[in-house]
A and B are shown apart, each in its own frame.
Chain A
């Protein structure tokens, strides 16, 4: 197990290095530049050159670094824990991420928890009442939930509950972490603001989790050992919740392990609709601005999260399933 973990961590670092190379190259070969006369004719080429130099894109003689040269400079800074400075905000990327991350974690974390708390029991219920009216209804609603993109759902939710019914606030200049305000000082107000975006994000995940849980549970319920447990004289509920659930929950671990790093990623479109200053919005604006360090900062953070949580999932497997040993 120790050897396995060491090997996995080593592979993880190698993967992150590989990903940094790929994404670094991709951002640099994308057309456009952080500053150019072409985009803003009112500035002088001299100013542009000075700016490019201050961004670390040219050497002291004003000659632009090649992509491999600048990648090496990036990686050297990265191993020192320096993600660079944002071109747009003139602030370290780490500072920006620390401002935005809590907002995304709050929003997407809440959505994930809500989705798990509703989706998993729903899936279990549907499987133990297969073909019942409740099961059919869950299936149909899940299907609709999977089919509606969250940006469509988000806009309609805002339109119905905030504009027509005036029950929830329009998302406009409310206090959150970072940005212009010092932080959250009114939890009730925060919760009220969270209802719609969390709903928009959770519906899709509820649909996915419940479908997955139902299928996994149904597969287990047809296993021979379920009949053995019944033949022992155990009540149906005990068979379902002890013998079946313990086996059926195993594949769900992977699903959750993939979902957790997405929290860090933020939700680009949903955050946009609800003016939620999370990492998704930060990343989107960074792409528009060619703010290379910020783009890479967000991407690398998600990559590291994915690698880390996949490792956690594999360790959890070994804990939950005695057949798996490393």
Chain B
């Protein structure tokens, strides 16, 4: 499979009151065409900022300071705004965590979907609206013609997320970035949305970068998964491989903290300590203060992400395997 998106040594920093936050600190990640790649990590680990860096939609105080994002071999970092606008919503689409606030309250959902179509496919209003209705039907909204004329506040959260998916896929993008698409939804609706995304992926052939903190979602959806901690990817592997034999102490901790049916447990496993202060990340491996292993060298040098597992596809950044 050819690489659709290749992130190389990406650094994104934010200037805030009190200093500079290295939200993304040297991320390498490859998304093959038509693949679903999971990006997991806890809040503040830099997953969403990685996604916004790809889209170049960072807030004003955020900046990509180093690295490249190659899309079809073209570096998106430093691309002029006009060219980036042609890629956004056309080749790379994005859906967000909060379906309740992600749609503009004063325009109908049909118009909002049609806007993307009209912008990128240079069709007239009527054709755009027709495509919008077709997309609404594809994402499983009944009576799509009537729904297209409704405003976001007239739809439920699950339906709004379907509208967001319809909008994102309306231009048949090659890459769909889904930033916690189900986090804000009820569990039953979550399952429906995930199923929908899987089905549509087959239909549209888009690759998906799925950002989540829910390992269950990863297991269900992803071909491979990357684990982020404090702005860096600490482990990356095909999904089954990662769940079967996690190598990084952080990944091991994460997987151990999932309760299992049928297994009697007095208490759930916890990773002690908390995420380092983003303004004062310790030198060396950022996970060291919470790490049960505390391998030598990890107090001084940051470990590189390289194959240390059973296969060449299983990458881990930990000094204990050196």
Please list the residues of chain A having a beta carbon within 8 angstroms of any beta carbon in chain B: 223-225, 227-236, 243, 246-247, 320-323
Contacts and interface: CB of A to CB of B under 8 A. Distances in A.
B101 interface: yes
A230 B88 contact: yes
A224 B115 contact: no
B240 to A, nearest CB: 32
25 contacts: A223-B101, A224-B102, A225-B102, A227-B96, A228-B96, A228-B104, A228-B164, A231-B89, A232-B89, A232-B119, A232-B167, A233-B119, A234-B85, A236-B81, A243-B104, A246-B106, A246-B107, A247-B104, A247-B106, A321-B105, A321-B106, A322-B105, A322-B106, A323-B105, A323-B153
Which 7 A-B residue pairings sit nearest by Cβ, starting from the closest? A233-B89, A232-B89, A233-B88, A224-B101, A322-B151, A225-B104, A232-B116
Interface residues of B, number: 30
Contacts of A323: 105, 151, 153
Contacts of A224: 96, 98, 101-102
B186 interface: no
Nearest to B120: A233
Contacts of B103: 225, 228
A231 B98 contact: no
Contacts of B105: 225, 247, 321-323
Contacts of A233: 85-90, 116, 119-120
Nearest to A238: B119
A322 B153 CA distance: 9
Given A233-B85, A233-B89, A233-B90, A228 B106 contact: no
Interface string B160-193: 0000100100000000000000000000000000
Interface of B: 55, 57, 81-82, 85-90, 93-94, 96, 98, 101-108, 115-116, 119-120, 151, 153, 164, 167
B101 A225 contact: yes
Consensus secondary structure, chain A interface: helix
Given A232-B89, A234-B119, A235-B85, 11 more contacts: A224-B96, A230-B57, A231-B57, A231-B88, A234-B115, A235-B82, A243-B107, A247-B105, A320-B106, A322-B106, A323-B105
Contacts of B86: 233
Q: Which of A223, A229, A236, A243 has the most chain B CB within a 10 Å cutoff?
A: A229
Contacts of A321: 105-106
A222 to B, nearest CB: 9
Given A233-B119, A234-B119, A322-B153, A228 B88 contact: no
Contacts of B151: 322-323
A290 to B, nearest CB: 52
Nearest to B151: A322
B87 to A, nearest CB: 7
Given A233-B85, A243-B104, A320-B106, A227 B57 contact: yes
A131 to B, nearest CB: 9
A232 B118 CA distance: 11
Contacts of B120: 233
Contacts of B115: 232, 234
